[in-house]
Amino acid sequence: MLTKLLWIALALIAGWWLWKGFVRLRSGDDPRGSRSDGRQSARYPASDSASASGDSSQGTPQPSGPSQEVAPAAQALVACAYCGAWSGRAFALERGGHWYCDEAHAQAGPKTDP
């Protein structure tokens, strides 16, 4: 009876641990501190932040304070002046006061309606 309870407890702990890892993976929070888009995770600061915080003797990252800027969840969208497709401002091209979704549309210029 006691061994069954131990196995059940072990299974519950393992399931909880796997579930937390899955949730962390889906949210994009990488335990190594790097993300696939090149940004550092806010939860796990970069390893060179130890030198920025003044504690370079240990070489371990220090917890970041509220002054660390976190990337906004949403970014501004702009419409392409040629085709009207919406894209993030970070990915769009600006030429002559107009926004474009790619280089070909930027070279073509804004589309004029007849």
pLDDT, greater one: 73 or 18: 18
- Give the 3-state DSSP-derived string for 66-89, with helices as H, strands as E and coil as C: CCCCCCCCCCCEEECCCCCCEEEC
Range with lowest mean pLDDT among 36-45, 49-58, 69-78, 82-91: 49-58
pLDDT, greater one: 41 or 2: 2
Look up residue 41 and give its amino acid. Answer: S
Q: 81 — phi, psi (to 5°)? A: -70, -15
pLDDT digits (tens, 9 = 90+) for 77-111: 899 999 999 988 888 999 989 999 999 999 988 88
Confidence of residue 32 (pLDDT cuts 50, 70, 90): low
Q: What is the pLDDT of residue 12?
A: 94
Each domain of the chain, given as residue ranges in start order, spans: 72-114
